Structure 1
Amino acid sequence: MKRWWLEITLKSDLCAATGDSEQAVTNMKTALEHGLPIIPAKRLKGCLLNEGKEIVSNGFAAQSELADLFGRPGASHPARLHIGDAHIYRIPGFLLGKERADGDVVFENYEKELRELIRHPELSEDLAERLLTRLRTRTAIDKELKTAQKTTLRTMQVVPRGIVFRSLLELSDAQGQTPPQLLKWCVKALRHVGLGITRGYGEVSCTLTEYVAHEQDAAKDSGIPKDFPGENAMEYEIELQNPVLFSGSRGLYEDCCDYIPGSAIMGALAAMYIADHGLGADAHRDEAFSRIFLRDGVRFGNGFLKAAAGGRDRTFYPAPAFLALEKRGEGRLINRLNGDDEKKRRKELSGQTAFDWGDGKVYLADVEKEVRLHHQRPKDRGIGHAVNDLIQAGAVDMGQFFSYMCISGGQRFSGVIRGNAGDLRELAACLEKRDWNLRLGRSRTAEYGNARIRLFPAGSGQQEAISDRWVLWLLSPMVFVGEGCPGETPEQEHLERQIRNRLGCSVEIRDTILKYTRIGGYNGKWNLPLPQHIALAPGSVICIKTGEKLCASQLEAEFWGDMAGRGCGQVKALPWEEIPESMKNYHKIAVDSREAVEKDELAAQGILVSELEAYRERENQREAQRREAMSIQASLPSAVTIEQLIALMEGHEEYSYTELKREIDMIRDEQKKLKTQEFLKPCEGKTHEFIYFYLLNSKWSARGEAAGNGKQRK
C-alpha cells in the first residue's frame, strides 16, 4: 500500500456544505470537526471522480482504469483508492492576527493537535469557528424592480482563502512509488470544490506530495502480548477515527446498530489475511483460513461502548431483560427476577448499561450517532447537482439525495477474540503490518470506517466469582440453527446440553426472560444474502443451576449456540448472590465520546491550542476595551467630525492617539480644533482598539443628541 498527501490550497472562500444550518444565524454551514473546518472525503472523491470522467470522455484514459481506481457500484471488491477527510495543514499568519515576519502556522500532525484541543474543554467549538470561518451573505435581485427580492437573503459559512488542507490518499497494490498517471491528472484537473463555484467560491489548487509517517503514539500502547494466557483469548479496544456505518434493524439509511459486530471485525481481518497470504479467490481452500474464519476456529466478539463513568473506564452492554423502569416510580429501577417487582407496571430499559455492584449503581449510556447527508450527481455531468426532486416523466439517472445513520467517530469500543494462540498471533501480525489500523462497515473508501485497534491479555488481574447459580445475560444474539421455533423448549435443551457437555456437570434452567430477533447478513463474495434465523436477542436472561460450583470465566469463555465465529452466543455470567433484590439508584451519563484515552499522559501543549488561547485572550481584551470605551462620557463634537475620525482609523490600522492628534492639529477652525482635542483626550495612551470603539460609541451618542435637539425645536 502506497500513500500520498493531497494538498488543497484555497484560492477563494470555500463552503463544503453538509446540509446543516443554524437557526437565525447561518443557512448553510460548512463541514466542521470539533469546530475545525474539514473537507469531507466523499466530496473530494466525487470531485476527483468527476474530473476522471472528463479525462475518460476525452480519450486520455480507459473506463476500466477509472473503475479500478475509484470503484464501481455493486462491485464485489472495493476501489483501490482510499481517500481521507481533508484537515487543516497550514494557516496563513494574517488570519491569526500575526505580523508578516511570524509566517504561517503549520500542523504536521493534525491528529495530535486535535487530541490536545479535546483535552481543553474550555476552548469551545465556537471559538475555533470564529477564528477559522467567516460568514458571507447574498440575495437575489428582482428583475423588474432591480432590488433585492424579499425572503431571499441567505447566509453561508465559509473557510477563508489562503488556508491549506491535506488529505491522505492510500492506494492498495501500488506497483511503484509514484502515483498512477490517471490519479495525477485528476488531481491536476481539480479546480473547484464546494458550493457557489460559479459565483467565486471554492477555487482550489491541488498537488500530490510524498507521505512521511510521523511517530505514532500507538506504537507504545498498541500491540499483542508475547505470551497469551491459557484461555487463548485477547481483548481489543477500537477507537473510531471516522464515523462508521453498520446497518441497523430498520436498514442502512434509517438505523445503525449501537455496537461493532464481531462479523465486521472478522471480515476486516479475513481481507487482511487473504491479501498477506496471496490466497485470492481460493481462500476457502486454504486449511488455515478455513479453520480460522469458516469453521469458527476463532470467535470474534462484538465491540461494546467503553467510556468513563464513576471515576474509571467501564464497558457498557445491552440492558439485561431483568432490569426495567417502574412507570410510576420516577425512574426507579426494578428487578424482574424478584417476584414482587415482576407484578409492577414497568417499561423496558433501553440503551447500554454498566453495573457497579459495590455502590449499588447502574450506569446508563447511549452510543452517539449522527445523520449525514449526501447526494449523487446525475449521469449528465452538465448538471452540477442532484435533481431527483425535479425529475420529469421518463427521466433516468438524475441523481439522488440520501442520508446515512452512522456511529459517530471518536468513541471507543471493547470486546474479546477467542481462539488458538497461534491463530491469534497470525491475526495480530496482519494488524501490525498495517500500523494497527483497520476499516469497518460500509463506504470504507471515503469518509467512513477508519479505526485503530489495541490488544491486551484477556481478563488479566480480574477477581473471579464462584457460584452454582448463575444469571446468563446475553450480550449478542444466540442462535440454534434448526432447533425449533421461538418459545419452544428445544433451544433451552440445546443450551443445557452444550453447557453439560463442555463443562462436564449437570445443568438445570430455573427461569428465563427472553426476547427474540432475526439475524441474517450478506455474503460479499457471492453477492447473496445469508440465511435468516430466529435468535434470542441481546439482553435476554437465562437463570441456571449447575451441579457444581463454577467460575464466571468458565461460562464466559464459551460462545454458546451456533454461528459463534460471527460473535453470536456471547454471555455475561452474573452470580445470583450479587444481584440485589431491588436497585434504587441509576445514573444516566452523557458519554464524552471524544475523551482522550491518554488522559494521564503529560504532553506538550499543541500549536493549535496555543493559537486558540491567544485568540481568546485577544477577544477578551477587545471586549474589555469595548466596555471601557463605551462607559466614558465626553463632550461631543459634531457627528460629521466623529465620522471623519472613524474613517481615519479604518483607513490606517497603524494609527494611534499620536497620529490621530496630529491630524486634529491640522484643523484651521480653532474652536472646532479645541473641542475635538478635548473630545479625544480620554484616548491618550490607549490602543487602536479602544479608540475605535470610543469613536463608534460617540457617533451614536452624537446622533441621538441631534435627534433630541430636532424634536425640541419642533
Structure 2
Amino acid sequence: MNGTLTIQFLSDTSFSMPASRDTTVDTDVALDAPGLPIVPGKTLHGLLRDTWLMLGDPAPKDGEALLGTPRSNDAEGKLRIGTARVTDSVVRGYISAALTRGETGGGGNPLPESALPKAFLATRFLTAQDRESGSPKTETLRLVRVVPAGAQLQACLTVRGELKQTERELLLLLCNLTRHAGLDRNRGLGHVKLSVVWEEAKALPKLPNAPITATATHFLPLRLMLTEPALLTSSELDANSRISRDYIPGSAVRGAVAALLEASGADDPLLHSLLASGNVRWLNAYPAWQGKRGLPVPITARRDKDATKEYDSEAKPADEIERLLSDIPDLQQGGQRTGLGAAFQAWNGRSWERAHSERVSQTHQTRDRETGVTRQNGVSTVYVYEALAEDQEFIGGIALPEGDTVLEAALGALLQRGPLFLGRSSKSQYGGLPTVEVGKGSSYEPGVPEPQGLSKDEAFVVRLTSDVLVRNKHGQHDPYALKQILEDQFKDKATVTNIGVKVATARGYSRLWRNEYPGVPAAAMGSVALCTATTAISADELTTLQAKPLGERVAEGFGCWAILPLPEEGRLDIAQEKEKEAHREPSSPEPELLIQAQRRLYTRRLKALLAQHAIDLAGKASNPPPPSTTQRLRTALRGEDWDVTLKKWLSGSREERLKETAYKKLESCRLGGKKLSVWLVELLAKEDNWPQFDFDTQERLRYRLVSEAKSVQLWAETKRVLRRHYLDTLLSRLAKVAQEESK
C-alpha cells in the first residue's frame, strides 16, 4: 500500500541539517545533492509520533501499530515515510539543464551549484531577547536559512501490509493536528499543513502452481534512477562511519523485492518463483553511461606511471593482458603500474567508455531516548554516512526462464507498483527509492557486447562481470579454482591458458538475526582468463555458455561472466572521460515554484550589482549636493508612490517642486555628464525601459533557471522593482562623498 504525504509551508520554515554546507549562515536547511530543500523522513516520522504522544494518556492503541513503540528498536510500525522533496519533474528538468548548460551540446555557462539554495531558500536574522531589558541580547545575532512560505514538498508513504480503517483515521488526525515543525517555532517560523493521498493498489497477476520449465535464459535490463541516497555497505570497519559500495548488489535488489512482495500480499507461487525457485537471478546494478550499463573494469587494466611510453600513457590507458599472453621483457621490467582510476566501463558499440558513480556525505547524531540530548555518558555519538547520491542511473538485470510471459508480466507489475528500498537506514532518508523501468529483454547479459562466433585456435578472454563463489575439489571456497570451473564449463570446446584473479570477500546480511554472514573468499569482478578455442564456436553457443552462471549464490547476482574477443595488440583502450551531455530544457511551461525561485535569484544578484554600480557612479560625481538635500530625496523613497513624488519634486509645478536652494544644489552636481536633477528626471521617465548595463546579458544568462524568453521578462521586471533600491544606494553614497569632501 503506497501513498503520498504533502507538506505545505504556510510560513517560513527551517529544518536544519547536522553539518552546514555554507559557512556564511549559522543554521542551514537540509538539502539534497543538487541543493534543493528536503525534509528527512525520520523528521516527519518524529513529528507524527510527537503529536500522537501528546494526544493524552493512554494514547491510541493503533499508534503503536502505525508508528512503532516509543524507545524500542524492535517494535517498528507499519508506516515508512520517505524524504519529502521537490518532486515536480519539470522543475528538476529545468535545473538539470541549467547545471549542465555549456557542456557538450549546451549553450552558455552552467549555473553555479551554490546558486540553487539562494534561489529556492531565503534567510532570516534572529536574536535572543534580554529578559530584563527587553532588548536584543548581546552576541546572539544569527543568520538562519529557511524554506519560504508557499513551498510544497512531497514524501512517499509505504505501508507494510494493509492499514485498518481506524489506523487510517488516526494518521489523518495526526496530519491535521501537526501544524508546526522545524526550528524557532515561537518566532513565527514552522507553520505547516500536512495531507495524505493513498494510491489504488492494483492486483498482481496470478501464477500457476507448476512453474514453466525452460532451457534458455532471458535477460531483462533493470533501470534504477535513485531519488534518495542509498547506503549499501559491505562491512563495518569503522564504528563511526559507513561507506557505500559504488554499485547496487543484486542481493540488495532481491531483498528489496522480497520486502515489496511481503508488503503487497503476493501469493505463494509468485514468492516461490521470484525468490525461492532459483530460476530467477538478480544481477548487480552498475553505473550507467548514456543509458548503457557499465561493467567492471578488468583487473589487468593498468597504466604505467611513466606517461612517456608510447604503448601505455595517461591519455590512453591499456589492458595489460599482454602479461597473460607472453613474457615481454619491456613489460616485465618496466616502471610501476597503477590503476586506471575508473571502476566501470560501458560498451558504446565501438569502444569502451568510462562509467562511474558518485557518493554524498552526510553527518548524523544519535540522541538519548530519555533526555533527547546528543551525547550518552559523555561520549560523542556523531557519525558519517557516505552513500550513493540521488539522481544517478544504475542498470542491472533480471535473468529468468525464456518464454515465461506470465512471470515476466507479474514481475513488471510488481516493480512498477513499488517502491523499492535499497540498503540500510531505509527508514531515515536513505533507501534509494528508485524509479524502476524494465527494458526490452535479450539472450545475453545487459551491457555485454553481443557475442560473435569464434574460429578454431582463436584466443579470447573471459571476464567476470560479478564476484564468483567457487569451490575446489576439497569442497572449500577457492578463487583460484576458477580455471578448473571454466574448463568444466567449456568441456571440449576451449582450454584455459592463464588466469588473472583478484580475491574478494563475499559477505551477506541476515535481517532476521541482524547479523552478517561469515565472509568467504571469492574471485572478484573484473578477474580475467585467457582462453583458446579448440573448435569453432558459433555465436549461439557462446550465448548459451555465458548465460549459465558459475559457482554459488547465483540468485543474488554472483557468478556472472562474459566471453569477449581478444583486444587488438593485446591491449584494451578505454576512451578518455568525456564532458557530460547537456540536458535539454523541458518543453512544458515553468511552474510557479520555479518562477519564484528565478525571481529570488535575480533579485539577490541584481541587488548586489546595482548597488555596486550606484556606488561606482556616485564616486565619479562632481560637486555632490550636501547630505541634507540627498537625505530629503531619500525620504520620498519610503512611500508607496515614491516615483510620483520625486517627479513632482524635480519636474512639477512651482508649488510642487523642491525649494529653490535645494534645487540649485542638484543642478550644480554633475553625474554621468549631466545635471543631477536632469539625470534623475530621465531615469524616472524610463519606468518600463531601464537603461542597459554592461553586466545585463552575462549575468542574466549565468543565473538563468527558466527558458530564455522567460528569463528576459523576469530580469526586466526585477530591475524595474529594484529602481528604488538603486536610487537609495546612489543617494546614500552621494551623501557620504559630500561628507568626505567637506572634511
TM-score, with structure 2 as normaliser: 0.75
Give the 3 Å change call, closer, same or farther, for CA 424–192 of structure 1 in structure 2: farther
Displacement of 1:590 after TM fit? 6.7
Match of 1:346?
A: 337
SS at match of 2:80: strand
Match of 2:298?
A: 320
Displacement of 1:642 after TM fit? 1.8
Match of 2:281?
A: 299
Bigger shift: residues 45-54 or 612-621: 612-621
SS at match of 1:549: coil
Bigger shift: residues 320-329 or 330-339: 330-339
Aligned-partner Cα distance in 2 for 1:78–1:452: 26
For the pair 1:509 / 2:493, whether they are aligned, the reply is no
Contact 2:443 2:543 in 1 (8 A): no
SS at match of 2:83: coil
Aligned-partner Cα distance in 2 for 1:148–1:70: 42
Match of 1:222?
A: none
SS at match of 1:52: helix
Percent identity reads 19
- 1:170-189 → structure 2 map (5 Å cutoff): 170-175=158-163, 180-189=168-177
Displacement of 1:130 after TM fit? 2.5
SS at match of 1:415: strand
Residue identity opposite 2:46 in structure 1: G
Match of 1:648?
A: 636
Aligned-partner Cα distance in 1 for 2:113–2:661: 52
Contact 2:297 2:344 in 1 (8 A): yes
SS at match of 1:87: coil
Give the 3 Å change call, closer, same or farther, for CA 263–358 of structure 1 in structure 2: closer
Q: What stretches of structure 2 of length at least 5 have no aligned partner?
A: 100-109, 201-213, 308-312, 668-674, 688-719
Residues 580-607 of structure 1 show CA distances to partners (whole Å, capped at 9, x for unaligned) of 4345664135768xx86xx698555555
TM-score, with structure 1 as normaliser: 0.78
For the pair 1:700 / 2:733, whether they are aligned, the reply is yes
Residue identity opposite 1:314 in structure 2: K
For the pair 1:549 / 2:548, whether they are aligned, the reply is no
Residue identity opposite 2:419 in structure 1: L
For residue 234 of structure 1, the aligned residue among 207, 210, 220 is 220
For residue 588 of structure 1, the aligned residue among 559, 562, 577 is 577
SS at match of 2:257: helix
Displacement of 1:412 after TM fit? 0.8
How many equivalent residue pairs? 640
Displacement of 1:451 after TM fit? 1.0
Aligned-partner Cα distance in 1 for 2:450–2:586: 28
Give the 3 Å change call, closer, same or farther, for CA 255–480 of structure 1 in structure 2: same
Residue identity opposite 2:162 in structure 1: A
Give the 3 Å change call, closer, same or farther, for CA 364–175 of structure 1 in structure 2: closer
Aligned-partner Cα distance in 2 for 1:694–1:473: 70
Give the 3 Å change call, closer, same or farther, for CA 549–614 of structure 1 in structure 2: farther
SS at match of 1:119: helix
Aligned-partner Cα distance in 2 for 1:476–1:543: 17
Match of 1:522?
A: 509
Residues 211-246 of structure 1 show CA distances to partners (whole Å, capped at 9, x for unaligned) of 579xxxxxxxxxxxxxx9964221211111211121
Contact 1:626 1:694 in 2 (8 A): no
Match of 2:423?
A: 441
Give the 3 Å change call, closer, same or farther, for CA 288–526 of structure 1 in structure 2: farther
Match of 1:17?
A: 17
Match of 2:522?
A: 535
Over aligned residues, Cα RMSD in angstroms? 3.9
Contact 2:178 2:194 in 1 (8 A): no
Displacement of 1:155 after TM fit? 3.1
Aligned-partner Cα distance in 2 for 1:278–1:582: 50
Match of 1:46?
A: 46
Displacement of 1:333 after TM fit? 2.1
For the pair 1:85 / 2:67, whether they are aligned, the reply is no
Match of 1:453?
A: 436
- 1:384-395 → structure 2 map (5 Å cutoff): 385-388=373-376, 391-392=377-378
Aligned-partner Cα distance in 1 for 2:7–2:348: 53
Displacement of 1:323 after TM fit? 0.5
- 1:135-150 → structure 2 map (5 Å cutoff): 135-138=123-126
Residues 154-188 of structure 1 show CA distances to partners (whole Å, capped at 9, x for unaligned) of 43322234444443434343346786344234334
Residue identity opposite 1:120 in structure 2: A
Contact 1:635 1:679 in 2 (8 A): no
- 1:410-489 → structure 2 map (5 Å cutoff): 410-421=391-402, 425-426=406-407, 428-433=409-414, 435-439=416-420, 440-449=422-431, 450-459=433-442, 463-467=450-454, 468-481=458-471
Residues 505-561 of structure 1 show CA distances to partners (whole Å, capped at 9, x for unaligned) of 343211111111111212224545434321011121122223333335334322211
Displacement of 1:349 after TM fit? 3.3
Aligned-partner Cα distance in 2 for 1:481–1:527: 27
Give the 3 Å change call, closer, same or farther, for CA 456–585 of structure 1 in structure 2: closer
Match of 1:110?
A: 88
Contact 2:320 2:570 in 1 (8 A): no
Aligned-partner Cα distance in 1 for 2:480–2:658: 107
Displacement of 1:269 after TM fit? 2.2
Contact 2:469 2:477 in 1 (8 A): no
Contact 1:241 1:452 in 2 (8 A): yes
Match of 1:683?
A: 680
Aligned-partner Cα distance in 2 for 1:490–1:125: 50
